[in-house]
Amino acid sequence: MDNSAPQSGPPRKPVGAGASGPPNQALALAAMMFAVSMTFIDQTIVAIAAPDIIHELGLTSSQMQWVVNAYLLTLAAFFALGGRLSDIYGHRRVMLCGTLVFVVASALCGAVPTGSYAEAWLIGFRAVQGVGAAFMFPAALAVVIAVFPVERRGRALALFFGVSGGLTAIGPLLGGWLTGWTWRAIFWINVPIAVIAIVLALLARIPETSKREPLDVPGTVLMAVGMGLTVLGLQQSASWGWDTWRTWVCIVAGLAVLAYFCRFELRRRHPLVKLQVFRDRAFAVDMAVLFFAMTAFVPVLFFASVYAQVSLSASPNQAALYLLYFFVGFALASQWGGRILDKRGARPALKLGAAVGAVGFALWAGKLTTLSMHDQWLYAAIAGAGIGFILAPASTDAVNRSIGASYGEVTGITQTVRNFAASIGLAVFGTVLTHVTVNRVGQTLRADGVPRGPARDAAHQIAEAVTGNADAQQPTGGGRVAELTRDSMQSIRMDFAEANQWVFYCMAGALVLAFICSLWHPGTRVTREPGSAQPEKPAMPTPQP
C-alpha cells in the first residue's frame, strides 16, 4: 500500500525536526510513560476498591464485574482505530485527545452519584475511559517510535515498556492506600498524572505529521464489533460457563465478523489495517511470539495475586509486593532486551526470552506448593525476565517494519494482539484453575468426612469465591458440613496451590510455543526508517544467531 499521499499542512519532516528545534527525546519519553501509566494502573487498581464501591453504590458482584469489563472491552475494540487515527491526524494530537478523554472520564467515574443511576453512570464512563486509553496508547507508542531513530529505538521502548508495564503491579498497592481515604480517589489520581503528561508533551516539541487519507468507517465498525464480541465471550466465559450458548455465540460470531473484516480490508484502498504487513515473515513471527507471551504476562498478574492471598494468606498489599519479584526480573531484562535488539536484531532476544520464560514459569510452578513467598522469588524473577526479553524487542521490531512508516497503525495492531492474547489466557487458564480446584477441594472434603453431594457444592463455592468467577461467598451452611469445611481450610490452601501449578505449567507451555515461533524469525535487522527507499527490505539481511 502506497502511503505517499499528500500531507495536510506543511510537508512531512524527518525524525528529529520541528518548527522550534529538534524534539526533546527525554521529555517526550517521560510524557508518554506518564500517559500510558494510567492505562496500566487502571487495569488492576479498581479490583482493590471493588468491595467499597459495591457497598457504597449498592451494586451486585456481577454489576461490579461489568465496571471492570466495560473498560477492557472498549480498550480491545478500539485499539486499531486509535492507531489509524494517530497516522491520519498526527500522533501527538491523538495522544493528547485520548489523554483528555481518559482523564475526563476518570474524573466523572470518581464523581458517580449514589442512587439508581450509579450503575449506568459508572459502567458508561468506564467504557469511555477504555476508548480514551485505546486512542492514547497506540499514539503514545508511535510518538516514542517517531522521536527516536532506529538505532536507539530498542533501548527507548525497553524503558517505555519496562517502567509503564511495571506500574501494573503498583495498582493494587496504590489502590489499597487510596481506598483508605475514599475509593473515588482511585479515579481522581489520574487527573494530576494526566496534567503532567500533557505539560511534558507540549514542552517536548514533538514533530507532528498527518496523512490526508479517509478513515475506513465500515472497517472500524467491523473491527469493533468483532473484537468486542470475541473478548466479551472470553471474559464472560468464567461467569456464563463454557457450556452455555451465550459464551459460544459471542465467540463464534465475533470470530466470524473478524474473518469477514480481514477479507473486507484486503479490498479497500485505504483500509483500517493494512494486512499486507503480515506478508513480512519477521513481522508475522513478532506477532506470534508476542501473542503467546501475552497469554502468560497479563494472566500471571491475576493468578499470582489470587494465589498469594488464598494459599499464602497474604493481604492485597502483600500480594502486590509478591508480584514485584516478577517485575524486578521483567524491568531488568527489558533494558537488556532493548540493547540486544539495537545491536543484533530481534531474533536473539526473542529466543532467549522465550527459553528463559519457559524455564522460569516451570520452576516457579514447582515451588508453589512450598507455600513460602521467599522460596519463590528467584523463579518469579526468572519468569519475569523471560517476558521482559520478549516484550519490547517483539513490539519494536514489528513497528520498525511498518508499511510506509505507518507507526500508529502498526502499534494499534500490536496492542490489539496483546489484548486479545491476554483475554484468551485469562479465559483458558481461569477455566483450568477452576476445574482443578473443584476436583482437588472435593477430594479433600470427602477425605475429611464431608458427604459427596455437600462436598461437591462446597468445592464449587470455594473455587468460585477464590477465582472471582461468580457472585459466590465462602461456603455456607450449618452443622457438621460447615464445621468440617472450616477445619479443611489448610488443606484447601494446598489444593489451590496445586491447581495453580497446572496454570503456571500451561504458561510455561505458552512460552515453549513462543520459542518455536521465534525460530522462524529470519534474523534480519531494520537499520533505517521504513519510509525510506525499499522499506519492505531490511538494510542488513545477514541472519543473526
What is the percent of the chain where pLDDT is above 70?
A: 86
Q: Fill in the amino acid letter for 541.
A: P
pLDDT value, residue 1: 38
- pLDDT beyond 60 at 476: no
The stretch 189-205 carries a mean pLDDT of: 94
The stretch 262-281 carries a mean pLDDT of: 91
pLDDT-based confidence at residue 209 (cuts at 50, 70, 90): confident
Highest mean pLDDT among 168-177, 291-300, 315-324: 291-300
pLDDT-based confidence at residue 491 (cuts at 50, 70, 90): confident
Highest mean pLDDT among 175-179, 236-240, 503-507: 503-507
The stretch 235-264 carries a mean pLDDT of: 92
pLDDT-based confidence at residue 424 (cuts at 50, 70, 90): very high
Neighbours of 27 (CB within 10 A): 18
pLDDT-based confidence at residue 405 (cuts at 50, 70, 90): low
Mean pLDDT of the chain: 84
- pLDDT beyond 70 at 466: no
Ordered by start, the domain boundaries in the chain are: 22-210, 216-271, 290-523
Q: Rounded distance, CA 11 to CA 529, Å?
A: 17
Q: Rounded distance, CA 300 to CA 306, Å?
A: 10
pLDDT value, residue 254: 96
Q: Rounded distance, CA 43 to CA 168, Å?
A: 7
Cβ–Cβ under 8 Å, residues 392 and 330 = no
Q: Rounded distance, CA 235 to CA 247, Å?
A: 9
pLDDT value, residue 464: 67
pLDDT value, residue 535: 40
Structure-block grid coordinates of residue 392: 519490547
**Residue 312 per-residue DSSP state:** S
pLDDT value, residue 258: 96
pLDDT value, residue 125: 96
- pLDDT beyond 70 at 474: no
Q: Rounded distance, CA 57 to CA 64, Å?
A: 10
Reported for 450-459, long-range contacts at CB under 8 A and 24+ positions apart, including other chains, are 450/481, 450/484, 450/485, 450/488, 451/481, 454/481, 458/485
- pLDDT beyond 50 at 188: yes
pLDDT value, residue 453: 77
pTM exceeds cut of 0.75: yes
Q: Which CATH number fits domain 22-210: 3.10.129.10, 3.30.479.30, 1.20.1250.20, 3.40.630.30?
A: 1.20.1250.20
pLDDT value, residue 96: 96
In total, the chain counts a number of residues equal to 545
pLDDT-based confidence at residue 122 (cuts at 50, 70, 90): very high
Poorest-pLDDT segment among 111-115, 124-128, 262-266, 380-384: 111-115
Helix/strand/coil (H, E, C) string of 507-545? HHHHHHHHHHHHCCCCCCECCCCCCCCCCCCCCECCCCC
Q: What is the CATH number of domain 290-523?
A: 1.20.1250.20
Reported for 541-544, long-range contacts at CB under 8 A and 24+ positions apart, including other chains, are 543/347, 544/344, 544/345, 544/347, 544/348
Residue of 349, 8, 46 whose CA lies nearest to 184 = 46
Higher-pLDDT residue of 349, 465: 349
Helix H segments across 180-216? 185-188, 190-203
pLDDT in tens, 31-73: 999 998 888 777 767 777 877 888 899 888 778 878 888 888 8
The stretch 222-236 carries a mean pLDDT of: 92
What is the percent of the chain where pLDDT is above 90?
A: 46
* Fold match between domain 22-210 and domain 290-523: yes
